[in-house]
Structure 1
Amino acid sequence: MIRIGLVDGPLPETHPVLSEQARLCEADGSPAAANHASAMADTIKAQAGEVHFINAVVFPGRLATSAGTVCAALDWLAENPPEIVLCSFGMAQPSIELTARAHVLMQAGSLVVASAPACGEPVYPAAIDGVVSVQGDARCLPGELSRLDLPQATYGACPAAICDPDIRGASVAAAHMAGLLARLWRGTADDTLTALETAIRYHGRERRTG
């Protein structure tokens, strides 16, 4: 069964496909992070079917974290690298330490997926070489992708969360991508990315007209 490293808020300990969990920050009482993590997990499962989640908790409740906390999460995941690692967030500042840890996971065979903005400057870890960078694309339905090849994002995916219409955007698009990669898994990261080409429906950025 495919293992997905969910670097996010906390999934409930009773979640049916939660395999392992590490809390890397102190909870602050806000429900936002738990709601976000559950929406990401539901969206992934809708695409992938049966998966196991390895939950590295980096959001204390508020949807905010630090590069150091994310590095600790990636270090923990690297102890037993999952097939896919999802980072449904982006940080504005590059980090040598974050880049090094992402590369350790990728060299171990993991596909690292991260969300990217639809416009503006690239964010991290999406901008790290080799990371599968994804932004929301309103043209895409679940299971569909666009190939954008923009400075900030290589792919676009559905921006709407499964089961929670209030959660939308690049974080959800990255979750759709993670689920699709899990469904298409071919044994290696490279072979899976090749198989991903079958899901690409659009080429080039979304054009909006008034």
Structure 2
Amino acid sequence: MAPRIGVIDSGGPAEDLPGGRAFLPDGTSVAPVPDRLGHGTAVAQVLRRAWPSVQLVHAQVFLDRPVTSSAQVAAAVSWLGDPRRSGGQADIICLSLGLAVDRAPLRRACIAALEQGVLLVAASPARGEPCFPAAYPGVIAATGDARCDWDQVSVLPGGVFGAWCGSPERGHSGQGGASMATARVAGLLAVMLASGHIGPASAWLRARASFHGVERRVAQE
């Protein structure tokens, strides 16, 4: 069976939305609307490039602006990680986002999903203060590394994984950065699951790492 990836983001095009939910600031959830920001659509494109038959489920937490709350994200994680959910529990949850403050509901939702065996992949800043849920134990933290081509991954300080990120240094234009790197790492994990790998996902990523340590960029002439 193709891996199921829950995408917590701004949604996707209309044809991608059946089975998804939109989580609102007032604590309710409704049917999602087509992506108005383009971010969730770009994340989905990276995931499908990694594994074309992947099953995507959109949990929409952004609508007209790239602003959400820990409560919305927590509700989305709980829904995707629920084994009773219609359509089945997500194997991987991709969170190409980060929140500045650790909130108990989000922490509890992530712990519960991890205990159910769900892999959580979340964006981590290349520099600066930690963000959540990437900083929670057990969550796979991802950020962009311009050294990495499509098939490469790096291990950075603090156990953060670097990956392809649509870097303009490699001639890419459009969406990029830690958001796309998070999608790329989630896509790699989809390949891992589809191959039947058994064992810690972090160990699998480390074993295939092409680079270790701080990203060092070579000045362009």
TM-score range, shorter chain: 0.7 to 0.9
Question: Which structure has the larger Rg over C-alpha atoms?
Answer: 2
Among candidates 199, 205, 208, match of residue 190 of structure 1: 199
SS across alignment from 2:199: helix
Separation in 2, partners of 1:177, 1:29: 25
Match of 2:76 in 1: 73
Separation in 1, partners of 2:34, 2:53: 30
TM-score between both structures, scaled by the size of structure 1: 0.87
More deviation, 112-121/59-68: 59-68
**Could you tell me which amino acid in structure 1 is paired with residue 98 of structure 2?**
G
Among candidates 31, 48, 61, match of residue 36 of structure 2: 31
Distance 1:29 1:132, change over 3 A: closer
Map 1:37-76 to 2 at 5 A.
37-76=40-79
Contact 1:28–1:62 (8 Å) recurs in 2: no
Match of 2:9 in 1: 8
TM-score between both structures, scaled by the size of structure 2: 0.83
1:118 corresponds to 2:126: yes
Match of 2:29 in 1: none
Q: 4+ residue stretches of structure 1 with deviation over 4 A?
A: 26-30, 186-189
More deviation, 111-120/47-56: 47-56
Among candidates 93, 99, 102, match of residue 101 of structure 2: 93
RMSD of aligned alpha carbons:
2.4
Count the aligned residue pairs. Answer: 202
Match of 1:203 in 2: 212
Separation in 2, partners of 1:10, 1:30: 5
Structure 1: 5+ residue stretches without partners = none
Distance apart, 1:203 and its partner CA: 0.5
Separation in 2, partners of 1:191, 1:181: 11
**Could you tell me which amino acid in structure 2 is paired with residue 22 of structure 1?**
R
Separation in 1, partners of 2:166, 2:12: 19
Match of 2:86 in 1: none
Taking every aligned residue pair, what percent have the same amino acid on both sides? Answer: 33
Structure 2: 5+ residue stretches without partners = 26-31, 84-88
Separation in 2, partners of 1:5, 1:42: 14
